[in-house]
């Protein structure tokens, strides 16, 4: 029996002959269903975030695993954590079937390569200090499934996201989350509904994790890296807002802090740069906790 993501939904029979308006409406509705699938699993995502933050807060690494579209979605989230939250790249591992630079032909066939998954888990020494987020629309992709099984045996905290209620990934992972994105409008094209559900789920999951690690203050990205003109301006505005100072003082503090917003806020509040770094380190980078610290 085909997995749910492979089912033919006969509501869309004749789709290739529909008007542009009806064609697009069908796809749009499919996307809305995909995003709506997160509602029933928000509690599960919170559970996953707590488990992941527990490992990362103790010095563990965040590992993303996937193949095909699912792997690409995971990779996209992984590579944005540094710029958005200042999460260190050396604390992030991406296991994408076929490799990050794989050609299209290799990209698809590599999802069956369990030996490659084993080699990656072993090479990176994935273990009990780490957290793994694995994504597979079917929930049965050999590369992804084997990686999760092996990582869990080695003590890592594992989260599995899939779009099939019978997906083996749901039980292979310590925290399995079913995203009920429904059969695809274009049958089997998981780059559509399933991919959208996965993207939304991983985005909110990793954002909650980063918040638990103190990389937000209110709704502001205090851990972000100010690596261009636009972000320099944002860093100044964030520092000014939190420290309650003018833009000139905020910019001066940022320069002393090498544009680390959290340190800059402490400097603007009256601390010397070295002391600001020391205080922030005491609270594992959590600015709110650092601001409450009294000498």
Query: 241: closest CA among 272, 206, 268?
Result: 268
From 111, 120, 149, 251, the catalytic residue: 111
Cite the beta strand spans of the chain per DSSP E: 62-66, 92-96, 131-135, 157-162, 175-178
Give the largest Cα separation in the chain, rounded.
72
Alpha-carbon gap, residue 199 to 29, rounded angstroms = 17
Alpha-carbon gap, residue 148 to 150, rounded angstroms = 5
Query: 156: closest CA among 52, 291, 57?
Result: 52
From 80, 89, 128, 255, the catalytic residue: 80
* 272: annotated active-site residue: no
Question: Three-class SS of residue 189?
Answer: coil
* 184: annotated active-site residue: no
Cβ atoms of 156 and 132 within 8 Å: the answer is yes
The 10 Å CB-count burial string (b at 16+, else e) for 119-147 is ebbeeeebeeebbbbbbbbbbbbbbbbbb
Question: Could you tell me the CA-to-CA distances from 286 to 180, 227, 249, 264, 281 in Å, in that order?
Answer: 35, 21, 22, 13, 8
- As annotated, the active-site residues are 80, 111
């Amino acid at each position: 029996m085909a997995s749910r993501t492979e089912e033919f939904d006969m509501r869309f029979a004749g789709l290739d002959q529909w008007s542009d308006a009806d064609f697009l409406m069908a796809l749009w509705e499919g996307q809305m269903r995909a995003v709506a699938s997160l509602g029933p699993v928000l509690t599960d995502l919170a559970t996953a975030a707590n488990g992941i933050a527990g490992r990362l807060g103790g010095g563990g690494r965040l590992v993303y695993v996937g193949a095909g579209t699912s792997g690409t979605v995971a990779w996209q989230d992984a590579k944005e954590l540094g710029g958005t939250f200042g999460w260190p790249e050396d604390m992030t591992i991406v296991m994408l079937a076929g490799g990050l630079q794989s050609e299209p032909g290799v990209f698809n066939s590599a999802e069956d390569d369990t030996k490659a998954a084993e080699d990656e888990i072993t090479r990176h020494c994935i273990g009990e200090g780490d957290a793994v987020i694995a994504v597979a629309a079917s929930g049965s992709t050999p590369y992804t499934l084997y990686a999760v099984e092996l990582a869990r045996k080695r003590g890592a905290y594992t989260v599995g996201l899939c779009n099939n209620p019978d997906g083996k990934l749901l039980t292979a992972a310590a925290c399995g989350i079913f995203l009920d994105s429904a059969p695809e409008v274009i049958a089997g094209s998981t780059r559509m509904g399933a991919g959208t559900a996965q993207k939304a789920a991983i985005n909110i999951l990793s954002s909650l994790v980063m918040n638990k690690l103190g990389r937000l203050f209110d709704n502001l990205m205090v851990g972000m890296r100010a690596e261009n003109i636009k972000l320099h301006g944002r860093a100044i505005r964030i520092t000014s807002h939190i420290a309650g100072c003018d833009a000139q003082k905020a910019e001066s503090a940022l320069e002393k802090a090498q544009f680390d917003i959290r340190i800059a806020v402490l400097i603007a509040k009256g601390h010397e740069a070295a002391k600001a770094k020391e205080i922030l380190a005491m609270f594992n980078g959590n600015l709110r906790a650092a601001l409450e610290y009294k000498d």
